[in-house]
Amino acid sequence: MASQSAFLPHARHSVRGFTLVEMVTVILILGILVVGISSFIIFGTRIFVESSSVDQVLSQSRFAVERMTRELRSALPSSVRINSDSLTYQCVEFVPIEASTTYLSMPIAPNATALTGTVILNATDQIKENQYIWIYPLTDSDVYNSARQKRAQIKTFTSLGEPPNPANQVTLTFMASTRFSEASPRQRIYFGSAPVSYCFEKAPSGNELTLKRYTVYGFNVSQPTPAHMSSGILMAQSVANVLSNSADLPLILTPSSLVNNAMVHLQPRFNVNGETFQYRHQVQVINVP
């Protein structure tokens, strides 16, 4: 008996994939997610950059105003003066006090000129050769103009306790024979080396101002302009005051008198990312000549 072959059906292998509609849908969803995430990242980055810019200007301006305030508080009496140009700059100049004490003997009119004078000091680390001294300065001319006979320059000085001086006395030797025009009522004498200027200057490009600090340019009878001083050190940028507007000047000086101290009004206005903030400091310069 012949055997019959059994024919088994072949198993079907199903082939599965994505349709065009599914692919387009996925692409649209991914595109929406990417746009949303990228917008969030860009927005966060922009906030970070703007916050960093504001923080940088705040820190810079705070440091500059604080340093100006500290230096002005220790300014020599009657040494503060302001010079400005309505288009390009406004500067405040003063002489920082490096030491002050009482003198015992000084060549003061009507006495004859002399090369030496004696002062009381507890330490000599604050005085040095080539330093300047002032006795009874009442105006800025007394500070900056040597012809007023209120200023002299130290050539050398003795150490504390060096014979024939007692332990707390120092003899100063001047660069030239000197005679001061007036005596201080309290026999007060001031020591300093060089004037300092802070200038708000118009930036090379744009309408904003920069703040620079100048020193080591010497004494001048007339207050110098930024162009006549040494290279300044940049202290702050983005200053928005308008120099041609007398109500918006960054510096205002109320001069001293015999009964009142000098007052410097610091009111620089800074601009960053369209936002403006302003400082309003009043610095009192003690007038004790």
pLDDT of 1: 45
pLDDT tens profile 156-182:
999 877 777 777 899 999 999 999 999
Report the number of distinct structural domains present in the chain: 2
44, with CB counted inside 10 A (0-12, 13-18, 19+), is: exposed
In a domain, 47, yes or no: no
pLDDT of 13: 54
The vertex-17 CA angle with 14 and 18, nearest 5°, equals 150
**CA separation for the pair 211, 187 (Å, rounded):** 38
**Which residue, of 168, 192, 216, is where some domain finishes?**
192
**Which residue, of 177, 192, 207, is where some domain finishes?**
192
Same domain, 68 and 200: yes
Residue 130 pLDDT exceeds 90: yes
Q: Cα-flanking dihedrals φ and ψ of residue 89, to 5°?
A: -160, 165
Q: Which residues of 228-246 are buried (b: 16+ CB within 10 A; e: fewer)?
A: ebeebeebbbbbbbebeee
In a domain, 146, yes or no: yes
H or E element that contains 37:
helix 20-73
Residue 126 pLDDT exceeds 80: yes
In a domain, 121, yes or no: yes
The vertex-150 CA angle with 148 and 153, nearest 5°, equals 115
In a domain, 249, yes or no: yes
Same domain, 206 and 280: yes
H helix runs in 93-243, sequence order = 140-144
Residue 17 pLDDT grade (very low, low, confident, very high; cuts 50, 70, 90): low
Same domain, 69 and 126: no
* CATH number, domain with residue 180: 2.40.10
In a domain, 39, yes or no: no
Same domain, 176 and 208: no
Same domain, 152 and 114: yes
Of the candidates 157, 147, 143, the one whose C-alpha atom is nearest the C-alpha of residue 115 is: 157
Same domain, 144 and 164: yes
pLDDT tens profile 271-287:
888 888 899 999 999 88
Residue 260 pLDDT exceeds 90: no
68, with CB counted inside 10 A (0-12, 13-18, 19+), is: buried
| DSSP string for residues in 171-195 | EEEEEEEE-BSS--TT-EEEEE---
Q: Evaluate whether 148 touches 169 at the Cβ level (below 8 Å).
A: no
Same domain, 268 and 227: yes
In a domain, 59, yes or no: yes
Average pLDDT in the chain: 87
In a domain, 42, yes or no: no
Same domain, 234 and 181: no
In a domain, 269, yes or no: yes
Contacts made by residues 2-10, CB under 8 angstroms, sequence distance 24+: none
**Which residue, of 147, 174, 192, is where some domain finishes?**
192
Same domain, 245 and 259: yes
Same domain, 267 and 135: no
Same domain, 167 and 124: yes
Give the dihedral sign, CA 175/176/182/183: positive
Same domain, 188 and 225: no
> pTM of the entire structure?
0.81
* Range with lowest mean pLDDT among 76-80, 88-92, 98-102, 206-210: 206-210
245: containing domain: 53-76+86-93+195-285
